[in-house]
A and B are shown apart, each in its own frame.
Chain A
Amino acid sequence: MTTYYTEDHEWITVEGDIATVGITKYAADQLGDVVFVEVPEAGASFGKGDDMAVVESVKAASDVYAPVAGEVTEGNGALADAPETVNEDPEGAGWFCKMKLSDSGELGSLMNVDAYKAFCDGL
């Protein structure tokens, strides 16, 4: 199981050819109180960088991008009634969706945890 990160502050944890996607603690902290989340439904397909989900704070709506291409196998339905989970546990229970990767080679362009930490420190 390996976790990768994007410059847009998504994380993706890969186990075999299934990956779980969410937003990082850094992103959740920047957003502030999450009041609404729209996650993709099973069966939806995305290219790398496509708008995949929406997360809304009191202030504004932000798009969440697909870190890599794939087909969604499950959206986290629990976030509809408990969007605050994204603040409380962004890199755990606050996951957005699970997806089947189209091309695991795309993972190579993402950051590992150390690189992501350094990236955030530079912001």
Chain B
Amino acid sequence: MAEPTTDNLKRTPLHDLHEELGAKLVPFAGYEMPVQYPMGVKDEHLWTRSEAGLFDVSHMGPCFLSLADGIGGGDEAHAKIAALIETLVPSDIAGLKEGQARLTVLLNDEGGILDDLIITRPIGEEAQGSLYIVVNGAVKEADWALFERTFEGKAVLTRADDRILFALQGPKAAEVMQDFFPGCAELKFMRHMPFELNGTRCIVSRCGYTGEDGFEVLVSPEAGVPLIKEMLTDERVKPIGLGARDSLRLEAGLCLYGHDMDTTRDPVEADLAWVIQKKRREQANFPGAERILKALSDGPAEKRVGIKPLERAPAREGTVIEIGGEPVGVVTSGGFGPSVDGPVAMGYVRADLAELGTKIDLMVRGKARAAEVCELPFVKPNYKR
């Protein structure tokens, strides 16, 4: 098998630190990223669930979208920028409070999912008319091209992917963060606040992708590298790679774009209808509204569900789901869940089979392995509500 080449791969500002820490680096979303450190995926996963794990997610797509005629101007300016982004997403962005963030999806005209993203309304009258948006690394160029095309002359996109975006996740994350960002422990889930660090502005958000309490921080490389080096001297903090990030988010029932959802899936099938608030359903003015509202009222043809293999064999992405020898769906994410201490998966099945407890077969290397449709997440979330 040919080894994937590391030529032409981008590096995050933390690349040298990953090497110093002994990370195994792999190509991911166009970047050379740490898949694991010497601790290993399983222990990194368990560490994050019991202590605090530090993740470099600088490959992602943080950006700011700001009104072309300038920011400031309070609620009115927010209403203007929200109205623009709401032409691409089905969530209620206008209704966000200052400092509040929301998960949403970027839709194509057919209602298919182009990406999932988090949109945050900034704090302070003078900052209104701008949104802090984080999109996925693998599709950021396409997302940003879409923003620029759609909002030409009306809003300006500022990419922030030359900075460090890192996450600190786990039950000890708040204690650790509080030492560096006093007051941040008071933030609630899906809220953010800005901080000054060594004279540069950074954004601290209480969110994550592990099912644990935690934070994501956008910070300049100059301020971020020393900050992270200092955080790693805390015995509660260990660096965690993308391998554990994947098993953590799978146990938490969170979707990975390009796997658990893509342009062939609408938010209703993906079990993400909750991102479409009532107001937007009534307005029915988002891309693909007709298909999506029909799926909401009639029910979708297929649905994303949790899958619990009843034997020890993990069922990986692409595993066909059968009942009585008939294909009824496919696994879109699957592997071993270290906290569950067994295999876990999610995937799509025919909607009439989406009921909890439905017995299914997972066709792993030609053998039918017993499994059942189960509730997501696999582990109880530990968010600070």
Contact = CB atoms under 8 A, between A and B. Distances in A.
Nearest to A32: B40
B81 interface: no
Given A60-B316, A61-B314, A61-B316, A36 B336 contact: yes
A3 interface: no
Given A58-B247, A58-B336, A36 B312 contact: yes
B316 A33 contact: no
Contacts of A54: 365
Contacts of B365: 38, 54
B335 interface: yes
B254 interface: no
Interface string A52-78: 001011111100000000000000000
B343 interface: yes
Given A56-B336, A58-B243, A58-B247, A36 B313 contact: yes
A44 B106 CA distance: 51
A26 to B, nearest CB: 14
B41 A32 contact: yes
A7 B246 CA distance: 30
A61 B331 CA distance: 15
A58 B312 contact: no
A60 B315 CA distance: 10
Nearest to A54: B365
Contacts of B40: 32-33
Nearest to A29: B40
Contact of A57 (B41, B43, B246): B41
Contacts of B42: 32-33, 35, 58
A19 to B, nearest CB: 24
Contacts of A59: 35-36, 41, 243, 246, 335
A35 B314 contact: yes
B170 interface: no
Nearest to A33: B42
Nearest to A59: B243
A80 B41 CA distance: 21
A18 B316 CA distance: 34
B308 to A, nearest CB: 15
B365 to A, nearest CB: 7
